[in-house]
Structure 1
Amino acid sequence: MASRQLDDKKSHRKLKPRSRPVNPINAAIQSWITVSLPPLESAGQDSRNESLINSAPKRFTIYEPLALLPTGSFTSETWASTLGVCGEVACNSLWQSILQEISKIGQGVVTHLAVNEGIPLHKAGEEDENVRRSPSGLRMLFGDFGPSEGVGEHPTKSDFEDAFWVGTKQNGILQTWAPRWTMFSRGNVKEKARLLAFKRPSLTKGTKEERGESWAVDLYAGIGYFVFSYAALGMRVLCWEINPWSVEGLRRGALANKWSVKVIEGDDLLLPVNQLLAGKERIIVFLESNEKALERIGEIQEAGNARNIEHVNCGFLPTSEPVWKSAWEVTKLAPEAWLHLHENVGAEDIESRRGSVQGAFETWAAASGANLRTPKVEHVEQVKTFAPGVWHCVFDVRITGGSISNNGT
């Protein structure tokens, strides 16, 4: 009988419902409403408070020490009217309360709060494309995000030191950036992992001496999204990037991962190529337009370096097509190479686009004459949805049959 009673107690414990953890943002708002929000007449107050809770953001992303809220947070009619009549002290009290509650959940202490409003396609007030992908729409709610006045497009070392920097780790690799000046695309984690697992051509082609040193090229380096995947594979990487804030993030991230890195900018761009590569750094970043990449890599190869370029990454949306021919040309000395071409494609157009990409490279191959290189679109990776019915795709083009061996003979 005692045994049966014990079993009943165990059964009762199993059926006991677990208490659900309170969303930290909701907890902060409820406390703020009680302590800081001016009261209304009873019926209106209950309705307002319920609306504030229901329309508040439920999700957040931590990039220490930043908590980033999703697009549209705190913009509902109720929030806009409520925050509009609150003073700065009351608003800051809300933001601080949210940071305190998020810090309690054990994912890291956060001191800054912002809303991610996406990356505008064009510069503010201009028709020019926002090719630097500057996050000018970032809505900063609390914390010092660094200077903005007088920084312009040519930041100084002091600007970098005074800026607010954040970081995260994906696939075991650290990345860092200044959120006021540089975008970060969390959704690229899948493509980074794919590159880390990608079959290396040089590992199956000849001896180490015959293969020579392995290189990768990234023509849209950013803060090192894909650069770091290649570096983690033991390759040396040549990079091009025009946003100095992204280059500084790449530099800091490389050092955080214990990879040597060299940034070539300003007057140093005029130095002889042998001098530029003399330090044997794992990552070499050119702060200039990738329009100069083909000519510069040609000079580097003539000097005996970067002859075995195994991978070229062309990671720009909505399309990286302007650099595809350059990617084709810089791999001409490698017996096998892979080009990774990023593009936004309609879901129903993926296969037809695959055919047109194949056709473009076959045209360039036919024009090469005696250089019997063979291109083939081996795979199309659907990375993530970019918009309804539109996919961010990567076309993997495998090129075989380079005319000169990797050791330069």
Structure 2
Amino acid sequence: MAARQLDDKKSHRKPKSRSRPVNPIAAAIQSWIPAALPPLESGDQDLRNESLINSAPKRFTIYEPLALLPTGSFTSEAWTSILRTCDEAACNSLWQSILQEISKAGQGVVTHLAVNEGIPLHKDGEDNENVRRSPSGLRMLFGDFGSWEGVGENPTKSDFENAFWVRTKQNGIFQTWAPRWTMFSRGNVKEKARVLGFKRPMAKGRENQKEDNSWAVDLYAGIGYFVFSYAALGMRVLCWEINPWSVEGLRRGALANKWSVKVIEGDDLLLPVEQLLAGGERIIVFLESNEKAQGRIGEIQETGLARNIEHVNCGFLPTSEPVWKSAWEVTKLAPEAWLHLHENVGVGDIESRRGSIQGAFETWAVSGASSRTPKVEHVEQVKTFAPGVWHCVFDVRITGGSISNNGT
């Protein structure tokens, strides 16, 4: 009986109330308004405050030590009119308050604040393509992001040392970049994971070897988005990238992940390939146009190196088609290879594009009298790029190549 009475008492207890945590940005604004803005008549003040809080960003992404706000943050009519009347000190107090609240939320200590804006396809006019994908639209709100002054197309070691660098960890792999100079695509995380889970082919006769001397090639290396996934699979990686800021980010990221890396640039590009690859580094980066990749890989393969290229990544949007023929050619010695072709495709055109890609590779196989067989095995829909447009990866599997010298 006593036990039942105890249960009854428990059943009548009121559940503990759980207050919903206040969004750190909203908390910062709530404390900033009375400290920075002049009071208004009661009704007007409540409406103003409510409008500011409701139109403020709710989300943020941390790339330590940077807090990045979504596109369009603080551009509503309510905010533009208020910020226009605030002096620099008042604005800075708002940004600092936001940084403090985000840091207190325990997701990482942040000291810099910026708004993410779209990467322009062109710069200095419609005819000048932004091939380096420089984030010129980044809206920096607080913190020292480094100076533009005196930094040209060929940054120096001093420019790199004085720049602001951030990093994040995805799939257990660090990536590093300078947000003022280099883009970062957060949405590629699933595709990176897919690469990490890719079944590695093994050349016949090498099943019991601890080191199977397999290679990957990335023709649009960037800061190492997919380079690092291949490195994590145990392959050596040959990379091409034309943006020196991306190359420096790749170098720093490789070292953070404890992979040996070598950047080949300037006069070193003229050295014999045997000398360039003699160090045995896991990642070799050529700071030059990928137009030179096929010829350079051919020279490397003539020395007996990089003959077993298992994966070639072609990760450029809106299309990586200019390098597909090169990707086909550099894998000719591998018994099995995979090409990963990135492209933006209309949702209704994915299957027809798959067919046209299959046809192109079959044509190259026939015209080159090749014994190899290409097949578009899979189409991965990575993420939406625009309404009705998908960022797709077409996986082309190539079989029937031949390899010698153990693929080293």
Counterparts of 1:210 and 1:86 in 2: how far apart (Å)? 65
Are the structure 2 counterparts of residues 12 and 376 from structure 1 closer, same or farther at C-alpha, using a change threshold of 3 Å?
A: farther
Query: Does residue 397 of structure 1 match 2:396?
Result: yes
Question: Is contact 2:218-2:240 (8 Å) kept?
Answer: yes
Question: Is contact 2:114-2:138 (8 Å) kept?
Answer: yes
Letter in 1 for 2:376: V
Letter in 1 for 2:33: I
State the shift of 1:26 in Å: 0.2
| Paired position in structure 2 for 1:384 | 383
Question: Is contact 1:211-1:308 (8 Å) kept?
Answer: no
Deviates more, 1:11-20 or 1:45-54: 11-20
| Paired position in structure 1 for 2:109 | 109
Superposition RMSD in Å: 1.8
Are the structure 2 counterparts of residues 250 and 45 from structure 1 closer, same or farther at C-alpha, using a change threshold of 3 Å?
A: same
| Paired position in structure 1 for 2:45 | 45
Letter in 2 for 1:375: P
Q: Secondary structure at the residue paired with 1:301?
A: helix
Are the structure 2 counterparts of residues 111 and 10 from structure 1 closer, same or farther at C-alpha, using a change threshold of 3 Å?
A: farther
State the shift of 1:207 in Å: 3.7
Letter in 1 for 2:218: D
Question: Is contact 1:59-1:70 (8 Å) kept?
Answer: yes
Question: Is contact 2:306-2:407 (8 Å) kept?
Answer: no
Are the structure 2 counterparts of residues 156 and 10 from structure 1 closer, same or farther at C-alpha, using a change threshold of 3 Å?
A: farther
State the shift of 1:8 in Å: 4.2
* 1:228-268 CA-partner distances (Å, limit 9, x unpaired): 00000110000000000000000000000000000000000
Counterparts of 1:242 and 1:217 in 2: how far apart (Å)? 15
| Paired position in structure 1 for 2:148 | 148
Counterparts of 2:347 and 2:204 in 1: how far apart (Å)? 35
Query: Aligned ranges for residues 185-196 of structure 1 at < 5 Å?
Result: 185-196=185-196
| Paired position in structure 2 for 1:251 | 251
Are the structure 2 counterparts of residues 285 and 6 from structure 1 closer, same or farther at C-alpha, using a change threshold of 3 Å?
A: same
State the shift of 1:206 in Å: 3.9
Counterparts of 1:242 and 1:14 in 2: how far apart (Å)? 64
Q: What residue ranges of structure 1 are gaps of 5+ in the alignment?
A: none
Q: Secondary structure at the residue paired with 2:340?
A: strand
Are the structure 2 counterparts of residues 118 and 408 from structure 1 closer, same or farther at C-alpha, using a change threshold of 3 Å?
A: closer
Counterparts of 2:131 and 2:389 in 1: how far apart (Å)? 20
Counterparts of 1:124 and 1:45 in 2: how far apart (Å)? 43
Deviates more, 1:398-407 or 1:340-349: 398-407
State the shift of 1:119 in Å: 0.7
State the shift of 1:15 in Å: 3.3
Q: What's the TM-score once normalised by structure 2's chain length?
A: 0.96
State the shift of 1:292 in Å: 0.4
| Paired position in structure 1 for 2:274 | 274
State the shift of 1:209 in Å: 6.2
State the shift of 1:9 in Å: 4.7
Query: Does residue 95 of structure 1 match 2:95?
Result: yes
Query: Does residue 32 of structure 1 match 2:57?
Result: no
Query: Aligned ranges for residues 140-179 of structure 1 at < 5 Å?
Result: 140-179=140-179
Question: Is contact 1:259-1:282 (8 Å) kept?
Answer: yes
Question: Is contact 1:241-1:286 (8 Å) kept?
Answer: yes
Identical-residue share of aligned pairs (%): 86
Q: What's the TM-score once normalised by structure 1's chain length?
A: 0.96
Question: Is contact 1:211-1:406 (8 Å) kept?
Answer: no
Query: Aligned ranges for residues 195-344 of structure 1 at < 5 Å?
Result: 195-202=195-202, 206-207=206-207, 212-344=212-344
Letter in 2 for 1:266: G
Question: Is contact 2:304-2:405 (8 Å) kept?
Answer: no
Question: Is contact 1:374-1:399 (8 Å) kept?
Answer: yes
Are the structure 2 counterparts of residues 363 and 31 from structure 1 closer, same or farther at C-alpha, using a change threshold of 3 Å?
A: same
State the shift of 1:3 in Å: 3.7
Question: Is contact 2:213-2:407 (8 Å) kept?
Answer: no
Q: Secondary structure at the residue paired with 1:17?
A: coil
Counterparts of 1:305 and 1:244 in 2: how far apart (Å)? 26
Q: Secondary structure at the residue paired with 1:136?
A: coil
Question: Is contact 1:60-1:67 (8 Å) kept?
Answer: yes
Question: Is contact 2:145-2:163 (8 Å) kept?
Answer: yes
Q: Secondary structure at the residue paired with 1:174?
A: strand
Counterparts of 1:13 and 1:124 in 2: how far apart (Å)? 68
Question: Is contact 1:211-1:407 (8 Å) kept?
Answer: no
Question: Is contact 1:217-1:312 (8 Å) kept?
Answer: yes
Are the structure 2 counterparts of residues 68 and 333 from structure 1 closer, same or farther at C-alpha, using a change threshold of 3 Å?
A: same
Count residues in correspondence. Answer: 408
State the shift of 1:147 in Å: 1.6
Question: Is contact 1:308-1:406 (8 Å) kept?
Answer: no
State the shift of 1:205 in Å: 6.2
State the shift of 1:128 in Å: 1.2
Q: What residue ranges of structure 2 are gaps of 5+ in the alignment?
A: none
